[in-house]
Amino acid sequence: MSAADPPASTTPPDTERSPPSDFIREQVRADLADGTNTAIVTRFPPEPNGYLHLGHALSICLNFSVAQEFAGQCNLRFDDTNPVKEEQEFIEAIQRDVNWLGFSWSGEPKYASDNFQQLYDWAEYLINVGSAYIDDLSAEEIRQYRGTLTEPGKLSPYRGRPTKESLDLFRRMKAGEFPDGARVLRAKIDMASGNLNLRDPILYRILRATHPRTGDDWCLYPTYDFAHGQCDAIEGVTHSLCTLEFADHRPLYDWMLDALPVPAVPRQYEFAKLSISHTVLSKRRLTRLVAESHVKGWDDPRMATLSGMRRRGVPAAALRDFIARLSVSKNEGKVEMAMLEHVIRETLNQTAERRMAVLRPLKVVITNYPEGETDWLEAINNPNDPDAGNHKLPFSRELWVERDDFMEDPPKKFFRLGPGREVRLRYAFFITCNEVIKNADGEVTELHCTYDPLTRGGDASDGRKVKGTIHWVSVEHARTAEIRLYTPLYNRADPGADGDFVDDINPDSLEVLSGCKLEPSLDQVPAGTAIQFERTGYFVTDPDGTPDALVYNRTVALRDSWAKAKAKG
Ligand code: ATP
Ligand code: MG
């Protein structure tokens, strides 16, 4: 699929923009300048419990670009501490998507699970120094004891448990002596803290689930809070960039690094999540779309996943450019989907070759054109790229035109085909419609037209003008394809704003057209290459298709298709 990704040299927006600047890059610059750090290490830390989405693209671009800009390194680290939801399929998909987006991580991918033994040892260390204890309260009791934002928590009756006893219980937890959920390891911090995260957070829980990497080696797993900062420290991460909801975890992050004999002290910085109108970006919701079959899978072209975007034909360069235009900030805000589409269109407009395809075909017979003859005309590949060259286009007696380009009783402003009207066929000739053929039901089945041989190439030698130019495909030479058109997956700008987001799904988000007619030169275009079908949009082959049964996805129409949805939302 990477063929859909245009070469970097043809994407001026990526390269011409001045170097990005935001509070994170300022921080990094300052840390290098004052010697706090001599080299920068960042990491992208996905949990392998789903596919990456557009929000992750922001985090990927930020972490990898900051490392690149400051000659540092960026790790890919799987945050695989919850085996119940994590799968090898997701681990592989995430690597594919990061690479597709145009980034390579430093060395091998890293995993929190690489450090399970070290984390376990550090947990024993905390017990030994009196900073952690085994709690026998149930999950529900722990919740009740935690208190609220306005009330302090209550001390667990097990908080004063002797170190030796906690250590013994912890080892027996590891040995598998207790059922899931029977006991947890908690840090001993401050049950009265104004920050709930510091009220003796859970560090380990018993969980019997086969882990994608460590199998059944462990029956207890560290929590995110106990794993993340320590893994950062082990990897020598200098700037641990995460989203704002972790700001309240930062005191805990720092507490752990202070309490443990870690080899380095990373610092955490938080930025606002990306959110986009007319879509949902949350693995929990995306998982539900897949599980409940609202879409065909994680890579359904309507999904806001990177694999869905790729399948839909969105170039990685367009996503990078879109992200580069949003500045990384601390303010949560919503970006209009129309802006993403605008950037996609802009990228494809520069790179995609033009071809003709008729989506809803109506036959035209050129009655004064000899039967069995073909005229091979010249068509420009890309008006925005003089080096892209030309290709040949066959013209013959029978043609397909777009059904919508004909009206039997056209209004004044309709400049396309109608009885007695003359139009230009793109790159070919002027034709005039003389006769409308209908079937028994009164439906138009064919148009009989004449062409003017003196207009070859598209201009009349007598200077005569026509107002309309339409696309067409020669019947004899056409390839037939299925074309899938997509409209927004949701009926409103803010799905789920008042109720279940699933109730806002647009039942007509996929329209499948069969029997579409394509010009034959598309045979020479490699699968996965973005193409503009003139007047109808940008398209790409879908992997469901075969050379004998082509399937195309419309990546995006030529004009803003969100205007209507926007008005509703
Ligand atoms: P989700 O809420 O979709 O499940 P997550 O944060 O739980 O996302 P992770 O796999 O833990 O998913 O995320 C990996 C990284 O991507 C984290 O650093 C996270 O902060 C970042 N990230 C996730 N969603 C967004 C978003 N919408 N915008 C920017 N960064 C994001
Ligand atoms: Mg998460």
Q: State the ligand closest to the CA atom of 55.
A: 1
Q: According to the model, what pLDDT value does residue 17 have? A: 65
Among left, alpha and beta (phi > 0; psi -120 to 50; other), residue 482 is beta
Nearest residue (CA) to ligand 1, atom 1:
282
DSSP letter string, 69-104: HTT-EEEEEE----TTT--HHHHHHHHHHHHHTT--
Nearest residue (CA) to ligand 1, atom 3:
282
Neighbours of 338 (CB within 10 A): 17
Q: What is the pLDDT of residues 455-510, one digit of tens each?
A: 999 899 898 999 999 999 999 999 999 999 999 999 999 999 999 999 999 999 99
Atom of ligand 1 nearest to the CA of 58: 29
Among 49, 52, 56, say which to mutate for ligand 1: greatest number of ligand atoms within 8 Å of CB: 56
Tell me, in angstroms, the distance from the centre of ligand 1 to residue 57's CA.
9
Tell me, in angstroms, the distance from the centre of ligand 2 to residue 235's CA.
20
Q: According to the model, what pLDDT value does residue 565 have? A: 42
Q: According to the model, what pLDDT value does residue 18 have? A: 73
Tell me, in angstroms, the distance from the centre of ligand 2 to residue 48's CA.
9
Tell me, in angstroms, the distance from the centre of ligand 2 to residue 46's CA.
7
Find out whether 344 and 317 touch, Cβ atoms under 8 Å.
no
> Among all chains, which residue has been given the structure tokens 């119940």?
84
Tell me, in angstroms, the distance from the centre of ligand 2 to residue 83's CA.
13
Q: State the ligand closest to the CA atom of 326.
A: 1
Tell me, in angstroms, the distance from the centre of ligand 2 to residue 291's CA.
19
Tell me, in angstroms, the distance from the centre of ligand 1 to residue 224's CA.
13
Neighbours of 123 (CB within 10 A): 23
Among 243, 268, 285, say which to mutate for ligand 1: greatest number of ligand atoms within 8 Å of CB: 243
Dihedral, CA atoms, 186, 192, 197, 202, nearest 10 degrees?
Answer: 10
Whole-angstrom Cα distance, residue 360 to residue 355? 16
186 lines ligand 1 (CB under 6 A): no
Whole-angstrom Cα distance, residue 274 to residue 256? 29
Q: Which residues of the chain have pLDDT under 50?
A: 1-13, 562-569
3-state secondary structure 312-342: HCCCHHHHHHHHHHCCCCCCCEEECHHHHHH
58 lines ligand 1 (CB under 6 A): yes
Find out whether 216 and 249 touch, Cβ atoms under 8 Å.
no
Find out whether 116 and 214 touch, Cβ atoms under 8 Å.
yes
Protein residues placing their CB within 5 Å of the ion ligand 2: 47
